[in-house]
Every structure is written in C-alpha cells, then in structure tokens.
Amino acid sequence: ENADVVDCSANVRSPCRSSVEAFWDGFQSFDARIVHSSSRNIPLLKLKDWPAKTDFKSVMPDHYVDLMAHLPLRDYTHHEGLFNLSARLPSGYVRPDLGPKMYIAYGTAVMPCSTTNLHLDVSDAVNVMVHVTVPTATTPEGIEILNQDRTNIERVIERQSPDIRKRCRSRIPGALWHIYSATDADKIREFFRRSETSNSALDPIHDQCYYLDDALRQQLRHQMGVVGFEIVQCLGDAVFIPAGAPHQVQNLNSCIKVAEDFVSPEHVAQCVSLTDEFRYLTEEHNNHEDKLQISSIIYHSVKEAVAALLPVPST
C-alpha cells in the first residue's frame, strides 16, 4: 500500500507517494529510514491524511469506540456532547468532518524541525497522544543522533515546572507544543511581516510557512510582548487547543496522535470571526470554504435552546 508522505525536514513540504510499510519500518528503527542521497540528511516523515480513502471509524471501529469512551470532558469533545454545538445539527444534515483524525510522524529533538508549522484552526480541538516510540539504532551515525535526541529532550524537560518534570520521568515524552492566545494572532503576523525573510503575499499563519524556534520565540516576546504556552505532551496526555489559537508542534519521538474537533459555546464567536476571515483566502486555499457550517450550527443550537425555554402548551 502507498500513501502520501511529507518530509518535515524539507524546505518545501510537498507530499510524495511512498510505501506505508517502509514508513512504519522507519517509524520504529532509525536504521530503516531513507537517507537523502544528495544531502545525506535523514528525512522526518509524516503520513498525510492516512488512511486516505475511509474514515477512522470505518478502519478501526474498536479503537474508535474506545477513544470516544475515554475522551476528556466528553460533554464538550464527544460527537453527541451536551456542550458540543455541532451535535445540535439535525440528522438530515451532512455534518462537518470533525474527526477523529490521526497524526503519525517521526520525531527529533536534535534540530528545531516542526512536525506541524504554526497555524490555527476554525474550531476547538483535543489532541490525544495514543502511542510513542523511541526509535532504535545500531549504526554509529544512528546511535550518535539518538543520543543527541535524548540529551536535547532532557534539556526541554528541565525547563518545565517541577510537576511536569516529574510526569515526564514516568512517561515517554512525545511532542513539544507551543500554543498562543487567539488575541495574539495579529501580533504574530506583524512580527513575521517585519522579518526580512517574510513573503508579503503569504499569510504567515494560515499558510503554515513558519516554525518559531527558541530564537524566534525570544524575539517575539521582546518585540511584540507575546508569550505562549509550552507543553510537553507525553504518552496518554490530551492537549486542548482553543479555536483561533496559533499553535505549532515538534515531535520529540515517533508519535501517533488522534485529534477530535468540537464547537464549544465559549468560542463560537471566534468560529464565526474565523469563518469570515477564511472567506478572503484564495480559492485554492484549504480553508477557503466554510466546512464547519457555523451558521447552521448556531441557528439550530439557538432553536433548540429557545424550544427548551418556552413553556409547554397546556392541553
């Protein structure tokens, strides 16, 4: 079986067809990873939209049931959750695709290479780390890089709070997140547009063309007063990302994450604002269309709430 694979270490992240079997071999073993013949760099691969032809529920029905049963804050995150406004859409509607979606990728802490560049989403999301693998290696080159990985992961853990450090000692660290307030999105855009490397034709966030490494995060704080939240996601951890919050991810080890989107009452206004903002993107952009159907969600949520508040007519 072949699938679309993206090399996260490349400057241009264009998907290419590759063997799924070869990807999984490299997921577990550094020695099995394909080396670029020209640069000798080790690629950091990510499976794009896999499985591509069918949804998560159809491919892994047992895992789907287990995931839905164990999502945190199920009143918000479950498809039929009381506070998940997307659940208010009538059964006759084609509901928006809110997941779950799998994110499967290699990782490294040797260099500041993002698994997912800085971007934001139109809805809220919960991201669960369901599997982490520390790759093995037998070649001198592989052993050296994996030892560097362990050293750099330790440095990331050491700058966390005591509680986080304690948790990371008992679980396998999988990914490093940086999440910013939705209200800081325009400041982040302005920060990139002031940069000499910025392309004025691009939206620095919507086009996912930047990763804020340590140096850029320091500049962002000093120049714009913007400070985000740094989160080390270990095996079994769930990370909540509010609608409109710019965020980026760097896998520290090989990871499988599962994300479920939802529409909370607290952030529905942000969903409306972002939907309007996305309309001004080019037609070729992935977020140009209103895939969330936020107007219909609000209409049926209000309709259901008003019906519940009105007195029942006496017979």
DSSP string computed for 4-64: EEEETTSSS---EEEEHHHHHHHHHBGGGSPPPTTT-PPP-EEE-SSS-SS-HHHH-HHHH
| Calpha distance 244→122 (Å, rounded) | 6
166 membership: H or E segment, kind and range: helix 162-170
Q: What is the mean pLDDT of the chain?
A: 87
Q: Which two tokens stand for residue 190?
A: 């302005």
Residue, of 54 and 274, whose pLDDT is higher: 274
Residue 41 contacts residue 33 (beta carbons within 8 Å): no
Residue 146 confidence (pLDDT) above 60: yes
| Calpha distance 101→41 (Å, rounded) | 29
Question: In the chain, what percentage of residues exceed pLDDT 70?
Answer: 90
Q: Which two tokens stand for residue 273?
A: 């604002």
pLDDT digits (tens, 9 = 90+) for 204-221: 999 888 999 999 999 999
> Which residues, other chains included, contact 275 with Cβ-Cβ below 8 Å and sequence gap of 6+?
122, 290, 292, 294
pLDDT digits (tens, 9 = 90+) for 148-191: 888 999 999 998 888 888 888 889 999 999 999 999 999 999 99
| Calpha distance 185→188 (Å, rounded) | 5
Least Cα distance to 147 among 134, 160, 158 occurs for 134
Residue-level pLDDT at 288: 52
| Calpha distance 216→118 (Å, rounded) | 12
Q: Which two tokens stand for residue 53?
A: 């032809």
Residue 113 contacts residue 9 (beta carbons within 8 Å): yes
* pTM for the predicted model, two decimal places: 0.91
